Amino acid sequence: MNQKFIPLESRVEWQNALQGIKHAFAHTWENCYAMHLTTGFTTYLYCFEAENIRIVCPIAEREFQGYVDIVTPYGFSGFVGNGNLPGFQKYWREFVDNRGYVCGYIGLNPMFENKTYLQKDELYSYKNIYVLDLRLSHDELFSKLSANRKRQLKQHKNTSTKLVFDKRALTKFFVDNYLEFFGRKRAEAVYDFSAATLEALFALENVVMIGAGYPGRIEATTVFAYTPHTADFLFNISLPEGQAHSAALLWYGVNYFKSIGIPILNLGGGVRGDDSLTEFKRRFGGNRLALSCLKQIYDPKVYVELCARVGADPTDRAGYFPAYRAPNGSRSMAPTQTEYTM
């Protein structure tokens, strides 16, 4: 049995560790490197190996008042592996205890979640995501759309709107407009990506950008990322007059990923509960899955001390975690698993 951290400096080793394991874009070196360009967090791929079992999970270290806690980088990742391993958490806890961490927030991906890797009393579900099965026929996928969504797509098809595939132009549009867009939507600070992060993401071959507008003018763009196992709807931003393009851009992604043999498209969910973004995605007829996380305390004494320093309740697991990092008055979940698209 062997447990180790693979650093960002070891790209090939990271990529090799993912071989043979169903995983999402958030598990990849490319995503974690791009997120590191914004956060600056020391980031690793945790790797457990024993006989024929391999389990991996991306992890980022964060310092707080002289102590270190851990979190999964932005996106849907968490523990994934190539087989069942009841009691895995015992090995994981030995590893993190030896590293001296205070606590950990481990976001999970419900499409690849393995219950044998988890401990029930640390598991919290906080919202839903919607996932499309692209193995269905085109007619079956279309039939699952809401009546309003079908009408929108038919109307969009009859307009003079043009789809845009020029990545350079779409990247410029996104970088020029995303701060204003997220500001209008009052998005959380997790969306304060650096230009270096966005440019690193958008330069990747497995990141797809589709835009819409009129000749000489882009009004909206949608961004997807994918692995052979799943595609993820990452972002959609638009000018105020370009919001009507959102459904058509997402539907183009559905058809594109189906055409190249990707079996699943994760649409994600809303920002908080059943908000308008959740409703937008629900109307595409996907399967609803509960999005969960692990809230783990490795050093209870230090955790209580850090909470006391900021006046936070160390017994609260329903709100922001770790509690000592919560913005004043915040009751939201840790922001690494939220998303904002419209």
Q: How far apart are CA 131 and CA 286, in angstroms?
A: 5
Alpha helices in the chain (DSSP H): 11-18, 29-39, 88-99, 138-143, 147-157, 167-184, 195-202, 246-259, 276-282, 300-310
Instruction: Give the per-residue pLDDT at 196.
Output: 95
Q: What single letter denotes the amino acid at residue 209?
A: M
CA 150 to chain centre: 27
Q: How far apart are CA 95 and CA 101, in angstroms?
A: 10
What does pTM read for this prediction? 0.92
**What pLDDT is recorded for position 276?**
66
Q: Is residue 45 exposed (0-12), middle (13-18) or buried (19+ Cβ within 10 Å)?
A: buried
Q: How far is CA 142 from CA 69, 136, 233, in A?
A: 45, 10, 18
60-to-188, 198, 312 alpha-carbon distances in Å: 19, 19, 23
The reply to whether 130-288 shares the fold of 2-128+290-333 is yes
With vertex at residue 19, the alpha carbon angle to CA 15 and CA 21, rounded to the nearest 5 degrees, is 120
> What is the structure's pLDDT at 339?
34
Domains of the chain, residue spans: 2-128+290-333, 130-288
- Residue 149: HSE in the Cβ half-sphere, 13 Å Cα cutoff: 20
A 10 A CB-CB count for 143 gives: 11
| Residue-wise DSSP of 115-129 | GGG--GGGEEEEEEE
Kindly state the helix (H) or strand (E) to which residue 269 belongs, with its residue range: strand 264-269
Residue whose token pair is 């030896």: 98
Q: Are strands 53-64 and 80-81 parallel, antiparallel or unpaired?
A: antiparallel
- Sign, CA torsion 140/142/144/147: negative
Mean pLDDT, consecutive 10-residue stretches, the chain (342 aa), reads 97 98 98 97 98 96 98 97 96 98 97 95 90 95 90 79 92 91 66 90 97 90 98 94 90 96 90 66 87 97 98 92 81 37 29
Placement of tokens 């919560």 in the chain: 326
pLDDT at position 273: 60
List phi, psi (to 5°) of 241.
-85, 0
Q: What is the CATH number of domain 2-128+290-333?
A: 3.40.630.30
Q: Could you report the per-residue pLDDT of 171-224, keeping only the tens digit for each? A: 999 999 988 887 776 556 566 899 999 999 999 999 999 999 988 899 999 999
Q: Which helix (H) or strand (E) holds 236?
A: strand 231-238
* φ, ψ (nearest 5 deg) of residue 55: -130, 135
Q: How confident is the model at residue 338, as a pLDDT?
A: 36
Q: Could you tell me if 220 and 211 are in contact, meaning their C-beta atoms sit under 8 angstroms apart?
A: yes
Please say whether the structural domain 130-288 has been given the CATH code 3.40.50.80.
no
pLDDT at 330: 44
Q: Which amino acid is at 60?
A: A
